[in-house]
Each structure stands twice: as C-alpha cells, then as structure tokens.
Structure 1
Amino acid sequence: MTDRVVVVTGATGSAGRAVCERLEREGFTVAAVGRDATRLDGVAAASRHVCDLTDLEAVGALRVAVRGEHGHVDGLVHLVGGWRGGSDPEGWDWLEPQLVTSLRYATLAFHDDLAASDAGRLAMVGSISASSPTWGNANYSALKAAAEAWVAAVASGWRRGGTAAAVTFVVKSLGDDATPVDAVAEAVARLWDRPAAEINGSRIPLLPTED
C-alpha cells in the first residue's frame, strides 16, 4: 500500500490520530490535516498540514500542497466533527461549518483526484441520529443527515466509474463505551480491500454489540 496517499482531516482528534497511526502502520502515505500545528506535531503522518477547512481558498491551497508533495491522492477520510444539542440558531451556526461546510469544501477540492485514482476512497463518520432525529438533538441530527446526503451524492456520481467509492461509517458515538476509535481505524484501513462497486454509497454500521 506504499503507493496509496490518504488525506485525513480532523487528524488531531482521537479518531484522526487512530486512523493516521493505523494507515501509517499498514504502509499508506498519510497527509494529516488539522487546525493546530502544535497538536499536529504528534500525529503519525508523512506530511502535516494546517488548514481551516471552512475557508474555501485555504482548502484549495491544501490540495495544491498535498499534490505537490505526494503527486496524487487516493483517499480522503473526513473526521472533522463537533456536537451540540438543541435546536437554537446559535448551535446551528456553530455546528454547520464543522459538520457540512468542511466536508463540502474538502470533497470538492479532492474529488477529481479520487475519481482519477484506480482506487479512490472517500469516508466520513456519520451518526444514527441522522436517521432517528429528535427535537432535543435537532440541529445535530439535521446537519449529520445533510453531510451523509452529500457523501451519497458523491457516491452517485461515481456509480459508473468503477474505481472510486464514497462511504459513511455509522456510529452512535465514539469512545471506549461506544464505538472505539480503533474500530474506525480498522474500517478505514479495510476500504481498499474490497472493489469500489461493492461499497460505493454504503452506510456501514460500526455499532458496539450488546452484551
């Protein structure tokens, strides 16, 4: 897998760190992306990039930098998140850039690279709340649903290509008492084990089993 270049956004979070470490260990070339240079220093990666993914020009510059350093891109794992409950406008305004705009800008920047790869992969972590919304979690549920719809739309555009796939991993939450971040890392690493046509457009559950 040494020829596979994977961009991991949200690389300084717990899931991002686990994914970067797992991909590096399996021989992928990882380009880690975060907003804090100090926190990025400890992330396992071939290259590290500070970028505000809610800034379209900055994301364009990120794509140029990654292509300039690695030559091509075969994967984009989008792990930028955040959570606030409720339905208030302030909560929506805080969540929307995190959950939707960052995903849109990142996928728009790297879309053509992934489509051109012989095994392009796009992945994000979704939420069961996208399909089971509640009023107490209305902002988060609606925005997660929008993010998942965006990934499904990307998948639709790749349906005839045969080499690229876009998937959503569905969790309730991440953590030792929920879906471990290592389970996310394992699922990401296995994306290249199956043909694109088998997984493109999938919502893949990563839910803890009941004892």
Structure 2
Amino acid sequence: MAGNGALSGAVIAVAGAGGPAGRAALLRLAEAGATVVGADNDPERLAEAVDAARYASGGATVTGEPVDLLDLQSARDWADHIEKDFGRVDGLVHLVGGWRGSETFVKTSLDDWDFLELLLIRTVQHTSLAFYEALQRSDRGRYVLISAAGASKPTAGNASYAAAKAAAEAWTLALADAFRKAGGAEGPTSAAAILVVKALVHDAMRAERPNAKFAGFTDVKDLADAVVGVWDKPAAEVNGNRLWLTEKP
C-alpha cells in the first residue's frame, strides 16, 4: 500500500509521534502513501512507534527524530532537515498533548497552567513558526492541530487545560489567516485546520477499563483517518475551520 495511496509523494511531519495517537497517525499516513517523519521528546518511545508503523505499513518510509519542541531553534532545525532530506514538507500534524485538572475551580494550581502553557501552547507556536514557510511552498501544505471540545465550553476543574487549548486554537487560526492572505485572490494553497475531540481512547485504555463506555470519545484510529481526510479537501475548505469529531458542546 505504501506509495500508492491518496498521499503518495507527500512528506508529513508528526509532532508527538510516540503516544497512542501518534502511533496511529504514523501508520495511517504511511498507509496513505506519505513519507512520514515523527518527532517526540522520548527517543525510546519514538523508535518503537516508528518501527511499528514501518512494519505494519509494509515498508513505507517512516523515520523519527528526537526534537525538543520547547526550543524554537530545534523546531526550525527539524523543519529544515526534513525539507533538505526529502525535498518538501506537505504537512505538520501536531499531536503533543497532556492534561492536568483539579476538583474545583478554586483548587486550581497555577503550576498546572505553567506546565500546560509549555506543552499545549508553546509547542504549537514553535512548530507553526518553524514549518510555515515550508508548508506555504507546498501545493498541498496542511497544519493540523488536535484540540478538545472543552476549549469551547470550559468546566470549573479544567480551567488551565481549556484555556491552554483555546489559546492553541487561536494561534492556529492566526496561522490560517496567514495562509489565507498569502493565497491572495486565488485563495490559499495551504491550510491550518483544527480537529476537535472530546477525548481520545485507544485499545490499552479499553483493556484497563473493560466496563467503561468512553461516551463521546474518539478512537485514535478514527482520529488518524480524520487527519488523512484533511488532505482530501481543498485548502480553502478546511483553512481556519474547526472540524468536529464529537458533538459540539
């Protein structure tokens, strides 16, 4: 299947590739024919994810590189390496995630905000700034952010998480506006889109909690399908849009 799918010839970077969602995305993008370059701050976890995707996809080109996405220059170097090695960059899928919350609003720890601001906002800032020019040079560039429904309807115990996700969305929408302006009267050729989930679930979670319903959760495999689907539509159709994979709050 590798090399013959809808994304044949595309080169796509995946940030946060070592987690369950990253593993699913690496495999699905490879199955769609893309050359996939993953990054994670855990080299061992990244290597396992890359090997699994390469094997399961039938020998597709899947590589990995440990990158500190909290450092802008490291993110820029990563983008430059990809374009130099493969000649182009057609996408950045941002799967860096994490959660911290509290029982009530007044019990919110601002240490949680400090942690989430780095993980959920700063990494988005760095990847978008690092990859913008390469994505703009592509004829099908896509920046894909995974966000949470809680950003649109925060709950009392999730103030830090929801605020960080909302900020990441706002930053991504600003990137979308940059793509729109760069496209001029003919419209954008590259796009920034937001995939919104309630939460994610994967096989290991189901095995740990066999009686849980995970109502409204999105399976990481379905998320990976949706990621690939962002390339199925014209840039103008997805640019600056929230694409909901769960019920709107």
The two structures have a TM-score, normalised by structure 1, of 0.95
Match of 1:126 in 2: 147
Q: Does 1:140 align with 2:161?
A: yes
For 2:80 and 2:172, locate their aligned partners in 1 and report how far apart those are by CA, in whole Å.
22
Hey, what does 2:18 align to over in structure 1? 12
**Aligned counterparts of 1:57 and 1:125: Cα–Cα separation in 2:** 23
Shift of 1:208: 6.9
Q: Unmatched 5+ residue regions in structure 1?
A: none
Match of 2:136 among 100, 115, 122: 115
Q: Hey, what does 1:76 align to over in structure 2?
A: 92
Which residue of the partner structure matches residue 155 of structure 1?
A: 176
Query: Pairwise mapping of residues 1-211 of structure 1 onto structure 2 (< 5 A)?
Result: 1-42=7-48, 43=50, 44=53, 46-86=62-102, 87-160=108-181, 161=183, 162-176=188-202, 177=214, 178-207=217-246
1:56-89 deviations in Å (ceiling 9; x for gaps) = 1211221222122111100000000100013321
| Equivalent position SS for 2:218 | coil
In structure 1, what is the Cα distance between the partners aligned to 2:229 and 2:154? Answer: 29
Measure the CA separation in 1 of the matches of 2:122 and 2:173.
Answer: 16
Structure 2 distance, partners of 1:59, 1:159, is: 23
Runs of 4+ in structure 1 off by over 4 angstroms are: none
How far apart, CA to CA, are the structure 2 residues paired with 1:66 and 1:115? 15
Matched residue SS, 1:12: coil
Aligned-pair distance for 1:134?
2.1
Among the aligned pairs, what percent are the same residue? 44
**Over alpha carbons, which structure has the higher Rg?**
2
Which runs of no fewer than 5 residues in structure 2 stay unpaired? 1-6, 54-60, 103-107, 203-213
**8 Å Cα contact 1:179/1:208 also seen in 2:** no
Number of matched pairs: 209
Cα RMSD of the aligned pairs, angstroms, is 1.5
* Letter aligned with residue 117 of structure 2: E
Deviation of 1:2 after TM superposition, in Å, equals 2.5
CA distance in 1, matches of 2:180, 2:85: 30
- SS of residue paired to 1:193: coil
Query: What displacement does 1:123 show?
Result: 0.5
One-letter amino acid matched to 2:94: H
